[in-house]
């Protein structure tokens, strides 16, 4: 099996761990590329799988770097939380050994990605492919903004808020969760729309099908208001700009690791202990 190693070398310990793990990886696979800068063009690198070292941020960078050619990913957690990168370095050799015998067939779970376009007077101002979420959020002087939400061209509601998050199931445990949004199982084909500090208490998160087209119309915004995709500023926006989000043609692919079920990950990462213990 041909493997690419990716990670963020600017994070302490990642470069050292990549150097330590590479000989272990090469026992079971051929390493055809290793990039810790996020700059390598992967479009012509022939490989079957990617090993990402770091945390969920590193996996987001890898998804962006792969672009329209998404390869199955094994995420090795060198960070803290790690919803996507939930494999420990000690577990990696065993996973690779198993894959060397069984192959990837039936071992890959595909996840929803999105295409985002920002339009100004009908012209595409900026666009991107993403995995977690699109957010329209206020900037200095941090006053409320006003956004209209359209689904398949139909007006849903108008939000007065600090921002609005449109997240995939993978992104539902990120910024959207912090804003009070629900958790969506990662293999669902749906989006969740979560307002940030809405001025109207009846505004609640909405979940709808990924087969629909979502548009956020900027009605009122202060200078500094921007569209942020997967934690990166895509472009500043002005009143009357529109943000259009659709299901992408490509899917993000994660290698399923035995013993790492979806609910086990939620239970461990979110501290769902199930029973409170009092005293020493």
Active site residues: 56
234: nearest Cα among 156, 134, 132, 115: 134
Q: Is 266:92 a contact under the CB 8 Å cutoff?
A: no
Helical segments of the chain, H only: 14-25, 56-66, 92-102, 175-178, 262-269
Residue partners of 161: CB distance under 8 A and separation at least 6: 144, 145, 147, 195, 196, 197, 198, 199, 203
Rg of the chain, C-alpha, whole Å: 20
Cα–Cα–Cα angle for 66, 210, 161, nearest 5°? 95
**Residue reference for tokens 């009357």:** 240
Nearest 5°: phi and psi at 199? -75, -25
Residue partners of 247: CB distance under 8 A and separation at least 6: 112, 113, 114, 115, 189, 210, 211
């Amino acid at each position: 099996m041909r493997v690419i190693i990716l990670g963020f070398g600017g994070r302490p310990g990642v470069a050292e761990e990549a150097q330590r793990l590479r000989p272990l990886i090469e026992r079971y696979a051929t390493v055809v590329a290793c990039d810790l800068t996020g700059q390598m063009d992967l479009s012509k690198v022939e490989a079957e799988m990617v090993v990402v070292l770091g945390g969920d941020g590193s996996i987001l960078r890898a998804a962006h770097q792969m672009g329209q050619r998404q390869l199955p990913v094994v995420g090795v957690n060198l960070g803290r939380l790690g919803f996507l990168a939930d494999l420990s370095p000690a577990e990696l050799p065993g996973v690779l050994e198993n894959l060397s015998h069984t192959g990837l067939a039936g071992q890959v779970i595909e996840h929803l990605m999105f295409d985002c376009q920002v339009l100004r007077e009908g012209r595409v101002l900026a666009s991107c492919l993403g995995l977690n979420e699109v957010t329209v959020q206020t900037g200095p002087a941090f006053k409320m903004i006003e956004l209209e939400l359209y689904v398949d061209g139909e007006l849903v509601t108008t939000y007065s808020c600090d921002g609005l998050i449109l997240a995939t199931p993978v992104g539902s445990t990120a910024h959207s969760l912090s804003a009070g949004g629900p958790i969506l199982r990662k293999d669902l084909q749906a989006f969740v729309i979560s307002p940030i500090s809405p001025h109207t208490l009846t505004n609640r998160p909405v979940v709808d099908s990924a087969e629909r087209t979502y548009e956020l119309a900027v009605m009122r915004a202060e200078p500094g208001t921007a569209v942020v995709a997967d934690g990166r500023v895509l472009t500043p926006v002005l009143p009357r700009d529109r943000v259009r989000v659709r299901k992408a043609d490509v899917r993000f692919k994660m290698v399923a690791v035995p013993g790492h079920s979806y609910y086990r990950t939620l239970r461990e990462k979110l501290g769902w202990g199930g029973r409170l213990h009092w005293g020493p």
